[in-house]
Every structure is written in C-alpha cells, then in structure tokens.
C-alpha cells in the first residue's frame, strides 16, 4: 500500500503476481460471494421445509422455489385439520387459479372430503374425466417431483333452475329470505326493511312464499285497502315502496329468475355425500347460463352456506373438514352489498368453522374481499397480481403488507410469478402461519378442460339426485291462498243484505238469519280449502315452524 496523505484515501499498489493475472481481479472476494449465495438459499429452503412438515393428513400444493429453482424435497402443503379456517385463492386472469381449485378438490375427494365448486366457465367439469398426458404435464411433474397419474373423480353436476346440463336445484323465496333477496333486487335499506316486513307478515299468516309470484301476490295484497288495515299494527307498507318492490320483482322474473325459485327445495345435506369407494363427492354447480345475473348466483351460493350453517351440528375442530366450499368470483358477492349483508357474511364465515365447513373465496385481488372477511381467512394462495395502474400498485402494496416476513421481495415476486406458480402461506396444525413459500404447483390429474357433453349427460342421468329434484312441484302457496280468499269474499253477501233465496221456495219462507260477523284474514285463510291443501302438502306438520338464521332465511325443520 502507498502512503496515504492526510485526509486522502489509501491507494492499493498491485503486486507482481496480480499484474501477471489482470483478467481475474478480486477473485477471492467473488468466490466468497458465490459461496455465500447457495448458503442463503439452503437456509431459506430449510426454513420452508421445516415449516411445512405436518403430522396429520395434508394437501400438496407443489414444490418450494428459491431463486427460480424448484426443490421437490421441500413440498408446500396445507393440513386437512386447518382447512376449516378458510382461505383465499387470488390472482389475475390466466394465472392458474382454476387449476389450483382443481388440484385441491382432487386431493380432498381422494381423502374422503366432499367438495363444492361453483363452475362459472365450465372448465372444472373435467374433474369427471381422467387427464390426458402431454409434454407440459410431464415436464412439470418431473420438476416438482410429482407421480402424475390420469384420474377421474366422482362428480355431481347441478344447475340453477335447470338452466344447464346439471340436475336442477331451487330454493323457495321464503327460505331465501328478505336480506338476500334485497341484495339481488338492488333495494336500498328502507326498501329492504319493508321487504322484511312483508316476509314477517307472510310467516305470521302461514302464507307460503315458494315462487316469485307468491311474493308479488302478498305485496299487492298489503298495498290494497284491506291489506293496509291488516298491516297497520306492524307499521304499514307505503305504496311507493310496494311499487318499487313489485317493479323489481317483475324485472327480475323477466330475466328468467322464475326458474330459480320454487319446490322441491334443494337440501344442502346432499353436498356432504361420499362415494362407495370412500372418496368425497365433488359437486359442481354449473353457472354459465346465469352470467348476466351475477348477483343472483353469488347470493345463491351464500344461501347454500347459510343453510349449511343452520343445519349442521357443532363439531369443533375435526381432523378433516366435513365439506370444503369454493366460492368463485367472490367479488360479485360483495359488490354494492349493504352493511347488514356484509355483517351477516362475516358472521357466517366466522361461525361455520365450528360446523366443520371450510370456505375458500376465489377472486382476482385480495382487495375484492372486505377487510373484516379477509381477516377470517387464515390460508392464502396468491397467484400473480398485475400493477398496471396506480390503483393496482396500491392494491399490490396492501397485499404484500398482509404476509408474514419472508426472504422474498414479495412486491417484485407477486408481479413476476409464472402461470401455475403462487405465493403460499397457511396455518399449521398449531394454528401458526407457515413461512411464505414461492410455490411451483403440481398438475391436476383429471382433465384440465371441460368434459364432453356425453360424459356430463351420462352422469346427470345416472345421478341419485335426479328423481328428487328434476320435476318441479307446485302446491297451493300464497298466490293460490290469497286468490281463494278473494273469491270467498266476493261470494259472500255484503253485511245487512239477505242471502239470495234458493230455488224451490221452501226455505224462502223462513226469515233471514242475522248476518255473521265477517271473519278476519287469519280465520279466512285457515278455513280455506287452499290452506287445507297446503297443510296436506306439508305432511303431518300442523303448520311450518319458522326459524330465522343469520341472514333472515327461514328453514323448515328436517
């Protein structure tokens, strides 16, 4: 080293040996740096490997990735025991969300857990058919250490109101309830409150609300002079509000929604079945025919969850869930939702965990899910996000802030993930978050494309649910009961007027009897033939016992 002047820098004089090798300056420093890089990578992989080692059953997502290299000996998994702690599968279009649902559903079914999937695009119908090998699948399987075997899984196809190939399923208007129906109709808080009053009146008078026409009949009756008097003690229904509700119901019916409401009503216990081989049934609800009514199908899915919550017993924390429910296009559920509706969703998600049901919301960005609901989702599978706009960039930063500390630059990683890759963190069997893991996902073993129509139609024709739900029934409900009441009122003479004399004369000589006091609406309905018919259709139950769940949905006792 040359002397260093005061306040200056010490300069380095090359040695003769260094001058002889000018093409390799600072070689020792480079070697040390190169040696340090694998050490860092190995430490991160060791942390991930230890964090995803579980004692009980689990689902495999794929192999952990560090610096672009997949490590098959560091599998990224999720314990079966924590699937009822709910989760989020998010990512931009085309990043592999649907295939993630497919591989999760396959493994759940294989371990005896029933699965429900909303199949909006029809892609998931391929689960009923074995996969077809190709070069991409072979390469991915080798890369992540997967023993890939083409496999078909037991599947059941449903469709809302029969609009599709699946077994038609319906819900009665009364069961759907005023809170959810108000969301579908786009009513404001005042109108939603009034709709709740209509449902309360129908329940108290035993007027069955099976179809939309039944609800319209009750609203029209309550807007009439007789109905206003009958409803006065409950606060009344303004003509303006009644008009809005009626117009929205008519528009809703004109869009084809009549097919979704009626009887026989779908029993959500049919989602909990397993096959003879012990595999869980994969139930796929076809929804391509209702894409122009997004609020309807998203709210219908929420009705299924509310119904499950109402019917299932408490089980605490089982070794594996009784059902895993994938809620696709979740943003449609939360768009324009009232505070009461959002509060009900949060409460349902929080409480249904103890019933053994896991719920995974599937959407494009975590910002699509309200913060209070997002806080309930302990398992996260995040595919690539896009940051093309300032709003996207803000959402990206918000998403990164929700993850535990990791060795990855998540803000960069989440925008550069490849198709079929995701950033994963789940809850361990002890309830603690696992290390964040960049994951290269395994390939689904069923067909990664829609099954052909012949396969789907064959499954539907052989379904044990087809005889139960295919044919719609029509009992004497509110529409018929109010019609019968009106006809009975028209046939009665006005008070103070003698009854018409019968032909033949004998009885005409008798003095007319004093007119009876006109019965009230309850007496008229209960004594009508329509009401007796409704009782017969209800079997031996003397009137339906109404209970109100979180969403205000009414359920019969099964």
For residues 252 and 185, is the Cβ–Cβ distance under 8 A? yes
State the DSSP code for 130: B
Query: Who's near 403: CB < 8 A, 6+ residues apart?
Result: 380, 410, 423, 425, 436
For residues 76 and 52, is the Cβ–Cβ distance under 8 A? yes
My answer on whether 91 and 223 are in the same domain is no
Q: Helical H runs in 263-389?
A: 294-311, 331-334, 339-352, 371-374
Q: Name the band, by pLDDT with cuts 50, 70 and 90, for residue 168.
A: very high
CATH number at residue 337: 3.40.50.300
Q: Which of 435, 469, 503 is the last residue of a domain?
A: 469
Considering the entire predicted model, what is its pTM? 0.80
Flag whether 24 is in a domain: no
My answer on whether 335 and 434 are in the same domain is yes
pLDDT surpasses 50 at 332: yes
- pLDDT of 413 reads 95
For residues 51 and 325, is the Cβ–Cβ distance under 8 A? no
Q: Report the pLDDT averaged over residues 331-357.
A: 87
Q: Report the pLDDT averaged over residues 42-57.
A: 94
My answer on whether 226 and 143 are in the same domain is no
For residues 291 and 162, is the Cβ–Cβ distance under 8 A? no
- What are the tokens at 271? 């989602």
pLDDT surpasses 70 at 521: no
My answer on whether 416 and 451 are in the same domain is yes
My answer on whether 181 and 223 are in the same domain is yes
My answer on whether 332 and 444 are in the same domain is yes
Report the helix count and the strand count for the chain, using DSSP H and E. 21, 14
My answer on whether 199 and 296 are in the same domain is no
My answer on whether 480 and 464 are in the same domain is no
In the numeric block, the tokens 């002889």 are attached to 20
Residue-wise DSSP of 92-115: -TTSSHHHHHHHHHHHHHHTT--E
Flag whether 113 is in a domain: yes
Lowest average pLDDT, out of 343-352, 500-509, 549-558, goes to 500-509
Flag whether 45 is in a domain: no
| 22-26, 69-73, 161-165, 347-351: which is most confident | 69-73
What's the chain's length in residues? 558
My answer on whether 234 and 375 are in the same domain is no
Q: Convert the pLDDT of each residue in 390-427 to its tens digit.
A: 888 888 888 888 888 888 999 999 999 999 999 999 99
CA distances to 1, 8, 15 from 5, in Å: 12, 5, 21
My answer on whether 278 and 251 are in the same domain is no
My answer on whether 220 and 247 are in the same domain is yes
Q: Which of 403, 438, 469 is the last residue of a domain?
A: 469
For residues 364 and 331, is the Cβ–Cβ distance under 8 A? yes
Nearest in space to 207 (alpha carbons), one of 215, 397, 132? 215
Nearest in space to 306 (alpha carbons), one of 320, 290, 327, 285? 327
Beta bridge partners of 116: 283, 325
Residue 321 dihedral angles phi and psi, to the nearest 5°: -70, 160
Q: Convert the pLDDT of each residue in 90-149 to its tens digit.
A: 999 899 999 999 999 999 999 999 999 988 778 899 999 999 999 999 999 999 999 999
My answer on whether 247 and 141 are in the same domain is no
Q: Convert the pLDDT of each residue in 434-491 to its tens digit.
A: 999 999 999 999 999 999 999 999 999 999 999 999 999 988 899 999 989 888 877 7
As a whole number of angstroms, the distance between CA 98 and CA 61 comes to: 13
Q: Name the band, by pLDDT with cuts 50, 70 and 90, for residue 494.
A: low
How many domains does the chain fold into?
A: 2
Structural domain containing residue 378: 58-170+263-469
Q: Report the pLDDT averaged over residues 49-69.
A: 96
- What are the tokens at 399? 């998403």
């Amino acid at each position: 080293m040359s002397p260093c002047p005061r306040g200056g820098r010490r300069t380095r004089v090359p040695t003769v040996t260094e001058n002889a090798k000018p093409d390799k300056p600072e070689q020792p420093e480079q070697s040390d740096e190169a040696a340090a890089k694998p050490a860092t990578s190995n430490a991160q992989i060791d942390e991930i490997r230890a964090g995803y080692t579980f004692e009980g059953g689990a689902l495999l997502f794929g192999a952990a990735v560090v610096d672009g290299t997949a490590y098959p000996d560091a599998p990224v998994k999720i314990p079966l025991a924590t699937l009822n702690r709910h989760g989020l599968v998010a990512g931009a279009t085309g990043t592999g969300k649907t295939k993630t649902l497919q591989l999760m559903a396959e493994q759940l079914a294989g371990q005896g857990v029933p699965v429900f999937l909303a199949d909006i695009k029809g892609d998931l119908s391929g689960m009923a058919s074995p996969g077809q090998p190709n070069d991409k699948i072979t390469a991915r399987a080798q890369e992540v250490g997967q023993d890939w075997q083409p496999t078909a899984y037991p599947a059941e196809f449903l469709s809302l109101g029969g609009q599709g190939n699946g077994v038609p399923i319906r819900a009665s208007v009364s069961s759907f309830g005023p809170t959810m129906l108000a969301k579908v109709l786009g009513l404001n808080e005042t109108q939603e409150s009034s709709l709740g009053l209509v449902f309360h009146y129908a329940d108290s008078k035993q007027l069955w609300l099976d179809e939309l026409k039944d609800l319209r009949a009750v609203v029209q009756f309550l807007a009439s002079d007789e109905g206003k008097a009958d409803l006065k003690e409950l606060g009344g229904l303004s003509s303006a509000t009644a008009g809005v509700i009626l117009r929205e119901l008519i528009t809703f019916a004109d869009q084809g929604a009549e097919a979704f409401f009626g009887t026989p009503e779908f029993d959500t216990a049919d989602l909990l079945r397993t096959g003879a081989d012990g595999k869980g049934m994969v139930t796929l609800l076809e929804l391509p025919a209702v894409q122009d009514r997004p609020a309807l199908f998203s709210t219908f899915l929420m009705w299924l969850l509310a119904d499950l919550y109402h019917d299932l017993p408490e089980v605490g924390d089982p070794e594996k869930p009784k059902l895993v429910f994938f809620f696709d296009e979740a943003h449609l559920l939360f768009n324009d939702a009232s505070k009461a509706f959002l509060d009900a969703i949060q409460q349902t998600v929080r409480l249904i965990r103890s019933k053994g049901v896991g719920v995974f919301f599937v959407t494009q960005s975590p910002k699509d899910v309200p913060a209070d609901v997002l806080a309930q989702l302990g398992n996260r599978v995040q595919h690539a996000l896009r940051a093309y706009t300032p709003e996207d960039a803000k959402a990206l930063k918000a998403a990164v802030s929700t993850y535990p500390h990791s060795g990855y630059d998540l803000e960069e990683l989440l925008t550069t993930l490849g198709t079929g890759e995701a950033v994963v963190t789940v809850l361990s069997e002890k309830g603690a978050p696992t290390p964040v893991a960049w994951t290269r996902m395994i390939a689904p073993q069923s067909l990664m494309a829609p099954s052909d129509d012949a396969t789907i139609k064959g499954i539907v024709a052989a379904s044990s649910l087809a005889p139960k739900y295919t044919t719609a029934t029509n009992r004497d409900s509110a529409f018929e009961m109010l019609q019968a009441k009106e006809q009975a009122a028209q046939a009665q003479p006005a008070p103070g007027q003698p009854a018409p004399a019968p032909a033949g004369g004998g009885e005409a000589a008798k003095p007319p009897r004093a007119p009876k006091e006109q019965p009230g609406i309850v007496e008229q309905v209960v004594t009508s033939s329509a009401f007796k018919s409704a009782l017969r259709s209800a079997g031996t139950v003397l009137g339906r016992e109404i209970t109100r769940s979180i969403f205000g949905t009414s359920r019969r006792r099964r």
